[in-house]
Amino acid sequence: MLRIVVLGSAAGGGFPQWNSNDVTARRFRAGDRRLRGRTQSSLAVSSDGERWVLLNASPDLRQQINDRPILHPSVDAPKRATPIAAVVLTGADVDNVAGLLTLRESQPLALHADARVLDVLKGNSIFNVLNPAYVVRHALALEQTTALRDPSGRPLGIRVRAFAVPGKIALWLEDLRKSDFGTAQGDTIGLEVSDDMGSRFFYVPGCAEFTAELGQRLAGADLIFFDGTLWEDDEMIAQGVGTKTGRRMGHMSCSGAEGTIAAISSLGVKRKVFIHINNTNPLLIDGSPECMQAERAGWEVAYDGMELTL
Ligand code: MLT
Ligand code: MN
Positive or negative, the Cα torsion across 136, 142, 144, 146?
A: positive
Average pLDDT over residues 10-27: 97
Indicate whether residue 249 lines ligand 1 (CB < 6 A). yes
**Closest ligand to the CA of 168:** 1
Q: Please tell me the distance from the alpha carbon of residue 2 to that of residue 201, in angstroms, as a whole number.
A: 9
Q: Give the per-residue pLDDT at 30.
A: 98
The response to whether residue 206 sits with its C-beta less than 6 Å from ligand 1 reads yes
Q: Let me know: does 29 contact 298? Beta carbons within 8 Å.
A: no
pTM of model > 0.95: yes
Residue 97 host element (H or E):
helix 94-97
Q: What is the pLDDT of residues 142-194, one digit of tens each?
A: 999 999 999 999 999 999 999 999 999 999 999 999 999 999 999 999 999 99
Ligand 1 neighbour 11 (Cβ under 6 A): yes
Helix (H/G/I), strand (E/B), else coil: 263: helix
pLDDT tens figures, 89-100: 999 999 999 999
* CA 267 to each of CA 28, 66, 245, 264: distance values in angstroms, whole numbers, following the listed order: 35, 37, 27, 5
Cα separation, 202 vs 193, in Å, equals: 6
Question: Confidence class of residue 35 from pLDDT cuts 50, 70 and 90?
Answer: very high
Regarding the beta carbon of 232 and ligand 1, being less than 6 Å apart is answered: no
Ligand that comes closest to the CA of residue 251:
1
Provide mean pLDDT across the span 36-40: 98
Task: pLDDT band for 55, please (50, 70, 90 cuts).
Answer: very high
Best of 95, 117, 233 to mutate for ligand 1, by most ligand atoms within 8 A of CB? 95
235 lines ligand 1 (CB under 6 A): no
The pLDDT tens digits of the residues spanning 256-305 come to 999 999 999 999 999 999 999 999 999 999 999 999 999 999 999 999 99
Predicted confidence at residue 255, as pLDDT, reads: 98
C-alpha span between 45 and 6 (Å, rounded)? 9
- Confidence category of residue 230, pLDDT binned at 50, 70, 90: very high
What is residue 265's DSSP assignment? T
Residue 47 buriedness (CB in 10 A; 0-12 / 13-18 / 19+): buried
In tens, the pLDDT along 96-155 reads 999 999 999 899 999 999 999 999 999 999 999 999 999 999 999 999 999 999 999 999
